[in-house]
């Protein structure tokens, strides 16, 4: 196709080795070209042959639009691994946009070359659209040889057109028909009220499909009622023609398939007496009806009529069927939106009943059965109603050990958590000052005794009485000091456990008289304090039984009985709680200690499970409704 000696430029360079590799690639491409191959392989072999025919090609690419795709993608390069895949991008884009062949000269920046290199791109059209582009980069050459290269590229692109026709999308026709159907159905969505949109829809169908009349009917109460007819927003329901159209619609609804008259001999058999009567009444030449389906349920029908002497072509019937299949859900949605609340309820009930009583819908039936069984179980099943509350363990009697004097801590043998026996020493105070005070008072008392004796020996009664009073005062002070010395030793008042107090880190620290240093509770005598929510306090009464679980022993349950309900509530975290006291059973065990916390559950009575699980919400709702009422 060109008089220029073919030149093949590979990455390996020029010379005999490169020419030999190019020749082998050319021969292999010819050998594979006539065999069955994929579009990519076909384009690759074709590009090698085309570049060899043009000659002097340094780069080449084939860009193809695959069937069903909207974009273009490169499928073949020459050489197979080019130095720059984006080198021909600009000229390829130009050919895609303009849809024609493009020739662009590429001059070096310094203008040293007498003739520029050229980039050629040629688009391949199929059904009026660009489906492929082939682009090459060639060496400089005279104008005549450049024209020859362009013609060679144009003639060679015929092979690409043949490839595109062979591998064109087999579903293209179906997509076009579906697009027409969707464009027609879009009329339903362009208008507001269902009556206006249905009239516009049928009128558009009649105009686009060459029909004299198109009617739309809906199933109501087991009968089909015409909802719209083309070219007429109003029609008389009692007219004979309307009744004939509705009969034809009922015929296709009853059979659940399309019905045509005159019928196609090659089509499936169908009863068409109502359609024959419609043609006799209207004087039309042919009529066909299609059922409108929504979720497998027939909700109406479309009837198409053509004038005398005209029948429906197979292609038109396919479009009509596509319109009916797409329009069904939209018609149901728009007509349902304008239905009353009673109609909505009736349709929903009817739909549910059809799922339950009709064939199929096994999953829905099983789910309904399971829900029914679950509801029956909740309605009839009963359980133990229990009131849960946070619980704290306290001693029934709790004795406080306080500081008898202002002094200093000398010794602290025990602390909180230790068990003690009655009379066991817990701690002592520094008693040196008290002992000195006792020595002083003893000496002072002896002095007063001597003075008393002297006064009695001298028969000084007045002086003797004064001294006798001083002796009594000294003995009283001495008795007080002795009592304080005795109380400087802190002893356990009974067998129990120290629930609070730790002076081991406060030895030598001053304490004030009356300050609480330890608290002792008995080991075997406890009471439980439960914080019952105000929503549940009405269900609690004295004498009710319950069980306690403490956090430190979660595997054990300790039985108790409610002994007292305190009519005073406390607020905590935005909620109100009542104090309820309970007594542990005698065999509660010795592992419990005062201060333990856990959960207590008070048994109330047997009640229905549904009430147990919902009474909190119903009580809250009842209160809210009461607050909203005037």
What does the pLDDT read at residue 288? 94
188 and 333 both lie in a single domain: yes
147 and 223 both lie in a single domain: no
CATH value at residue 480: 2.40.50.100
434 and 570 both lie in a single domain: no
Tell me whether residue 390 is in a domain: no
219 and 324 both lie in a single domain: yes
What does the pLDDT read at residue 603? 92
Higher pLDDT, 217 or 507: 217
Domain count, the chain: 5
Which of 192-201, 424-433, 458-467, 592-601 bottoms out in mean pLDDT, i.e. has the lowest?
424-433
Domain-terminating residue out of 119, 150, 166 = 166
DSSP, residue by residue, 229-243: ETTBS---TTSHHHH
Report, as an integer, the average pLDDT of 453-458: 83
Identify the band that residue 171 occupies on the pLDDT scale cut at 50, 70 and 90: low
Tell me whether residue 47 is in a domain: yes
Higher pLDDT, 74 or 513: 74
364 and 498 both lie in a single domain: no
Which of 274-283, 452-461, 501-510 bottoms out in mean pLDDT, i.e. has the lowest?
501-510
Tell me whether residue 380 is in a domain: no
Domain-terminating residue out of 519, 541, 565 = 519
What does the pLDDT read at residue 74? 87
Percentage of residues in the chain having pLDDT higher than 70: 84
Q: What is the distance between the alpha carbons of residues 447 and 469, in angstroms, rounded to a whole number?
A: 13
Residue 389 pairs in a beta bridge with 600
17 pLDDT higher than 60: no
423 and 507 both lie in a single domain: yes
Are 240 and 281 contacting, i.e. CB atoms less than 8 angstroms apart?
yes
Tell me whether residue 228 is in a domain: yes
Report, as an integer, the average pLDDT of 10-37: 59
Tell me whether residue 1 is in a domain: no
Tell me whether residue 332 is in a domain: yes
Identify the band that residue 4 occupies on the pLDDT scale cut at 50, 70 and 90: very low
Q: What's the mean pLDDT when you consider all of the chain?
A: 80
Tell me whether residue 393 is in a domain: no
pLDDT tens-digit profile of 37-56?
677 888 888 888 888 888 88
Tell me whether residue 388 is in a domain: no
242 and 308 both lie in a single domain: yes
Identify the band that residue 20 occupies on the pLDDT scale cut at 50, 70 and 90: low
397 pLDDT higher than 80: no
Higher pLDDT, 380 or 279: 279
146 and 192 both lie in a single domain: no
Distances, alpha carbon 298 to alpha carbons 53, 302, 324, 558, 592, in Å: 64, 12, 11, 67, 73
Structural domain that includes position 585: 525-628
9 pLDDT higher than 70: no
189 and 334 both lie in a single domain: yes
Strand pairing class (117-126; 57-64): unpaired
Report, as an integer, the average pLDDT of 149-174: 73
Which of 13-17, 126-130, 454-458, 609-613 bottoms out in mean pLDDT, i.e. has the lowest?
13-17
378 pLDDT higher than 90: no
**Secondary structure of residue 616 in the 3-state scheme:** helix
Report, as an integer, the average pLDDT of 577-585: 88
CATH value at residue 89: 3.30.450.40
Higher pLDDT, 201 or 359: 201
CATH value at residue 558: 2.40.30.170
Q: Read off the tokens for 609.
A: 């499970």
Give ∠ CA 606-607-610 in degrees, rounded to 5.
145
**Secondary structure of residue 367 in the 3-state scheme:** helix
Identify the band that residue 406 occupies on the pLDDT scale cut at 50, 70 and 90: confident
Report, as an integer, the average pLDDT of 285-302: 90
Report, as an integer, the average pLDDT of 142-168: 80
Domain-terminating residue out of 112, 144, 166 = 166
What does the pLDDT read at residue 166? 67
350 and 414 both lie in a single domain: no
What does the pLDDT read at residue 608? 86
Are 530 and 580 contacting, i.e. CB atoms less than 8 angstroms apart?
yes
HSE (CB half, 13 Å, CA atoms) of 406?
A: 1
Beta strands per DSSP E along 413-488: 419-420, 425-429
414-428, 434-448, 547-561: which is most confident: 547-561
What does the pLDDT read at residue 260? 92
What does the pLDDT read at residue 3? 30
pLDDT tens-digit profile of 199-249?
888 998 888 888 889 999 999 878 899 989 998 877 777 688 999 999 999
511 and 573 both lie in a single domain: no
Which of 85-99, 169-183, 377-391, 504-518 bottoms out in mean pLDDT, i.e. has the lowest?
169-183
Q: Which residues contact 309 (CB under 8 A, 6 or more apart)?
A: 285
Report, as an integer, the average pLDDT of 410-432: 72
Token pair 């009806």 is found at 289
Q: Any idea how long the chain is?
A: 630
What does the pLDDT read at residue 2? 33
What does the pLDDT read at residue 291? 94
Which of 28-37, 86-95, 100-109, 136-145 bottoms out in mean pLDDT, i.e. has the lowest?
28-37
Higher pLDDT, 422 or 258: 258
pLDDT tens-digit profile of 52-76?
888 888 889 999 887 656 678 888 8
232 and 351 both lie in a single domain: no
299 pLDDT higher than 50: yes
pLDDT tens-digit profile of 522-575?
766 778 899 998 888 888 998 899 999 988 888 888 888 998 888 777 887 778
402 pLDDT higher than 80: no
What does the pLDDT read at residue 427? 73
- Local structure of residue 81 (DSSP, 8 states): S
Identify the band that residue 292 occupies on the pLDDT scale cut at 50, 70 and 90: very high
């Amino acid at each position: 196709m060109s008089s220029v000696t073919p030149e093949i430029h590979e990455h390996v360079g020029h010379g005999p080795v490169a020419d030999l590799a190019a020749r082998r690639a050319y021969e292999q491409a010819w050998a594979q070209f006539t065999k069955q191959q994929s579009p990519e392989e076909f384009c690759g072999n074709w590009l090698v042959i085309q570049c060899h025919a043009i000659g002097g090609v340094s780069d080449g690419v084939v860009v193809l639009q695959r069937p069903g795709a909207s974009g273009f993608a490169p499928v073949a390069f020459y050489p197979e691994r080019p130095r720059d895949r984006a080198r021909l991008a600009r000229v390829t884009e130009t050919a895609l946009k303009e849809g024609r062949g493009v020739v662009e000269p590429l001059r070096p920046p310094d203008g040293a070359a007498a003739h520029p290199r050229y980039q050629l791109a040629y688009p391949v059209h199929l059904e009026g659209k660009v489906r492929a582009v082939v682009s090459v980069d060639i060496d400089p050459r005279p104008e005549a040889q450049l024209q020859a290269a362009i013609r060679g590229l144009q003639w060679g692109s015929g092979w690409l057109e043949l490839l595109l026709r062979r591998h064109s999308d087999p579903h293209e026709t179906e997509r076009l028909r579906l697009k027409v159907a969707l464009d027609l159905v879009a009329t339903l969505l362009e208008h507001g009220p269902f009556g206006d949109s249905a009239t516009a829809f049928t009128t558009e169908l009649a105009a686009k499909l060459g029909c004299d009349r198109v009617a739309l009917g809906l199933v109501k109460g087991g009968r089909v009622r015409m909802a719209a007819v083309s070219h007429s927003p109003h029609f008389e329901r009692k007219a004979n023609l309307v009744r004939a159209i509705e009969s034809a619609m009922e015929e296709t609804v009853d059979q659940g398939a399309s019905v045509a008259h005159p019928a196609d001999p090659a089509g499936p058999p169908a009863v068409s007496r109502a359609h024959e009567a419609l043609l006799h009444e209207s004087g039309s030449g042919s009529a066909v009806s299609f059922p409108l389906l929504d979720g497998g349920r027939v909700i109406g029908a479309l009837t198409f009529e053509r004038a005398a002497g005209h029948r429906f072509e197979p292609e038109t019937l396919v479009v009509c069927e596509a319109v009916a299949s797409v329009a069904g859900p939209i018609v149901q949605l728009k007509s349902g939106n304008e239905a009353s609340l009673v109609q909505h309820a009736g349709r929903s009930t009817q739909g549910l009943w059809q799922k339950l009583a009709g064939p199929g819908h096994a999953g829905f039936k099983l789910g309904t059965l399971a829900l029914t069984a679950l509801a029956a179980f909740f309605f009839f099943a009963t359980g133990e109603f229990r009131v849960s509350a946070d619980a704290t363990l306290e001693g029934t009697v709790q004795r406080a050990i306080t500081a008898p004097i202002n002094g200093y801590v000398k010794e602290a043998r025990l602390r909180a958590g230790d068990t003690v026996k009655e009379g066991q020493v817990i701690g002592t105070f520094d008693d040196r000052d008290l002992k000195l005070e006792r020595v002083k008072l003893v000496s002072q008392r002896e002095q007063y005794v001597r003075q008393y004796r002297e006064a009695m020996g001298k028969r000084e009664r007045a002086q003797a009485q004064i001294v006798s009073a001083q002796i009594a005062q000294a003995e009283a002070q001495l008795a007080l000091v002795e009592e304080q010395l005795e109380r400087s030793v802190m002893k356990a008042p009974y067998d129990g456990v120290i629930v609070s107090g730790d002076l081991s880190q406060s030895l030598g620290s001053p304490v004030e008289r009356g300050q609480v240093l330890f608290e002792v509770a008995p080991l075997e005598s406890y009471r439980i304090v439960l914080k019952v929510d105000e929503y549940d306090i009405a269900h609690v009464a004295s004498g009710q039984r319950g069980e306690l679980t403490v956090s430190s022993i979660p595997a054990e349950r300790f039985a108790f009985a409610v002994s007292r309900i305190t009519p005073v509530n406390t607020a905590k975290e935005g909620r109100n709680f009542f104090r309820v006291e309970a007594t542990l059973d005698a065999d509660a065990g010795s592992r419990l200690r005062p201060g333990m916390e856990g959960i207590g559950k008070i048994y109330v009575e047997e009640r229905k499970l549904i009430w147990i699980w919902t009474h909190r919400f119903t009580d809250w709702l009842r209160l809210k409704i009461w607050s909203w009422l005037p």
